[in-house]
Amino acid sequence: MEIGDVFDKLGSVLLYTTIALIGGMILLGALVWFLKREKFADFKKYAGGIAIGYAIVVIVALGYVKGLDTEYMGEGRSLLFVPIISEIAVVFAGIIAMLVCSIFSKKAFKIAGIVTGAGALGGFVAIMVQMAKYFKTVEADYDANTTGLIVAAIVIMAVIAGFYALGNKRDISDTRSIVYGAIAIALSFALSYIRFFKMPQGGSVTFASLLPLMVYCCMFGTRRGLIVCMIYGALQAVQDPWIIHPMQFLLDYPLAFGLIGVSGIFVEKGVAKKYPVVGFVLGAVLGASLRFASHVCSGVFAFASWADTVTYGSVAVYSLAYNSFTFVDMAIAIAAGVLLFSSRAFLTQMALSSDKPAAGQVVLNDEPDEFEAMLESGKGELPADSSEEDVLHDPEQEPELEEIPSQKAPEQEPELQETTLQEVPAEEAAAKESDVTPNEQ
């Protein structure tokens, strides 16, 4: 298939998709306005996030296809391009459907999520089948160890499952996290095209392309971060595909980039809460190291026939050396991240944009709006020895504030009654005393 034909067809599909998306948003906006007007402000935010993410993805996709310098798309890339693009389209459409349903009810959101998950699972199976077919055509050129690839993939999946269980539990129906996740994926995908150099067998050093994903993981937690980073990994298979085996695809793309999702674990757990930049750096190093391990497993078991064993002595050493580019990529992202996390203004905006922190998560800034709203609601006055920070960040203190008025009222009421009862008899006694005094004398 010629690249010109691919570009024309992709442009036509995106044009009609854009028209349909705009029409759907207008129709949905009208329904929200007339049926649930109180949700219209939220709808505008979600629509804006979807529009930004969609625009970036369209620009990057067209730029990628147009920028290909090969005359024809190879058989393998053509075979895998369609199912991967279809999978991404299903996930993107499902995210939009979940956002729309979340405006009306949580039940509708869950149904949309189940349908999206089923569609994504079906697409994933189709991708694996196509990859298996393609592997048979190139099996003679690669000495892939299928057993080693399967074992490595299972181990990496177990690591991801462990970190998912370790992450704090949050409400997955939070629409803000979904919108920000889409934006983070789009930004990282766009930045991944700014390359300092590209490796001959896949992989490249980019301009902090992983930073938006790392920031997202710090804002919304490990569980959401793992899911978003795995989706980004699938997108990388479209941008820079080097795929020979289904298990190698998992190790080099969804699983490897999915491990970047653990980069927010230290911030989420409140490690070095006074210095968020330390938690960010520790998480980034952990995520990049796990990604490196996944790439090394892929290199050892899938690309052994390509290893320069004469220079490096063994396949494992060669794979370690080849995939060390991930640490260079990580260093650039960490350097940019340190500048951001050292800014108080960035931390404040980051905390305001993220969802409510779960138990044990560091709070990056004070929130005077919540503090003032609490006082205006009449829950109580601020004790003299307390501060705004104490009220906002100590959930056990709020019930004490509610009890202060109820404790004072019973003490003051008897005093008022006592005073009233004593004033009347005192006046009558004085009058009587003046009347009976002469007689007594």
Tell me the mean pLDDT in the region 102-106.
77
Provide the residue range defining the domain that includes 164.
142-365
Kindly state whether residues 181 and 277 are assigned to the same domain: yes
Show Cβ contacts of residue 215 under 8 Å, excluding neighbours closer than 6 positions.
184, 337, 340, 350
The arithmetic mean of pLDDT across residues 156-180, rounded, is 81
Q: What is the DSSP string of 279-301?
A: HHHHHHHHHHHHHHHHHHHHHHH
Are residue 298 and residue 403 in the same domain, yes or no?
Answer: no
Confidence class of residue 36 from pLDDT cuts 50, 70 and 90?
confident
Tell which of 333, 365, 397 closes a domain: 365
Whether the per-residue pLDDT at 440 is higher than 80: the answer is no
Q: Does residue 177 sit within a domain?
A: yes
∠ Cα 401 406 409 (to 5°): 130
Task: Map residue 195 onto helix, strand or coil.
Answer: strand
Better pLDDT: 346 or 164? 164
In a domain, 10, yes or no: no
Q: How far is CA 301 from the centre of its chain?
A: 31
- Tens digits of residue pLDDT in 46-69: 777 777 677 767 766 666 666 554
Average pLDDT of the residues in 148-172: 87
Question: Which of 90-104, 338-352, 367-381, 398-412 has the highest mean predicted lDDT (pLDDT)?
Answer: 338-352
Cα–Cα distance, 253 to 264 (Å, whole number): 20
| Mean predicted lDDT score pLDDT of the chain | 75
| Pair (386, 287) in one structural domain | no
User: Which runs of consecutive H residues, i.e. helices, occur in 36-145?
Assistant: 40-67, 75-104, 106-138
Round to whole Å and give the CA distance between 218 and 67. 34
Residue at 192 is within a domain: yes
Is the pLDDT assigned to residue 335 strictly greater than 90? yes
pLDDT of res. 282? 93
Q: Token digits for 415? A: 């005093």
* Cα–Cα distance for residue pair 134/132, rounded to 1 Å: 5
Phi, psi angle pair for 59, to nearest 5°? -65, -45
What CA–CA distance (Å, rounded) separates 102 from 176?
A: 11
Instruction: Domain count for the chain, please give it.
Output: 2
Amino acid at 62: L
- Selection from 32-36, 104-108, 351-355, 369-373 with the highest mean pLDDT: 32-36
Q: 295, 256 in Cβ contact below 8 A?
A: yes
Please, which contacts does 288-291 make with residues 24 or more away whose CB atoms are closer than 8 Å?
288/210, 288/260, 288/263, 288/326, 288/327, 288/329, 288/330, 290/159, 290/259, 290/262, 291/256, 291/257, 291/259, 291/260, 291/326
Both 380 and 358 in one domain: the answer is no
pLDDT, tens digit, 9 for 90 and up, residues 109-146:
888 888 888 888 888 888 888 777 777 776 666 777 88
pLDDT, one tens digit per residue, over 316-331 is 999 999 999 999 999 9
User: Does residue 400 fall inside a structural domain?
Assistant: yes
Whole-number pLDDT of residue 2: 62
Co-location of 337 and 306 in the same domain = yes
- Tell whether 268 and 381 lie within a shared domain: no
> What is the Cβ-side half-sphere exposure of residue 348, based on CA atoms within 13 angstroms?
7
Q: Report the CATH number at residue 336.
A: 1.10.1760.20
Look at residue 304 and tell me if it is in a domain.
Answer: yes
Q: Is residue 167 part of a domain?
A: yes
Whether residues 395 and 290 share a domain: the answer is no
> pLDDT-based confidence at 409, cuts 50/70/90?
very low
Q: Please check whether residues 240 and 306 belong to one and the same domain.
A: yes
Q: Same structural domain for residues 172 and 225? A: yes
Same domain, residue pair 398 and 296: no
For residue 421, what pLDDT is reported? 45
Q: What are the C-alpha distances in Å from 222 to residues 170, 258, 260, 326, 365?
A: 10, 11, 10, 21, 20
Residue 130 lies inside a defined structural domain of this protein: no
Is the pLDDT score of 6 beyond 80?
A: no
pLDDT of residue 398: 45
pLDDT at position 4? 64
Please, are residues 360 and 270 in contact by the beta-carbon 8 Å criterion?
A: yes
Among 234, 174, 131, residue whose Cα is nearest residue 357: 174
Q: How far apart are CA 314 and CA 316, in angstroms?
A: 5
Residue 76 confidence class, pLDDT cut points 50, 70, 90: low
Report pLDDT for 155: 94
Q: pLDDT class for 159, splitting at 50, 70, 90?
A: very high
Count of Cβ atoms closer than 10 Å to residue 245 Cβ: 25
Residue 433 lies in a domain: no
* Residue type at position 368: P
Mean pLDDT of the region 225-240:
85
Looking at the predicted structure, is the pLDDT value of residue 392 above 50? no
pLDDT given for residue 225 in this prediction: 92
Q: Are residues 286 and 385 in the same domain?
A: no
> With pLDDT > 70 as the criterion, what percentage of the chain qualifies?
69
CA 346 to the chain's CA centroid: 17
Contact residues for 440 (Cβ-Cβ < 8 A; gap 6+):
none
Residue 397 sits in the same domain as residue 292: no
Specify which of 1-10, 264-273, 278-287, 395-404 reaches the highest per-range mean pLDDT. Answer: 278-287
pLDDT the model gives residue 78: 59
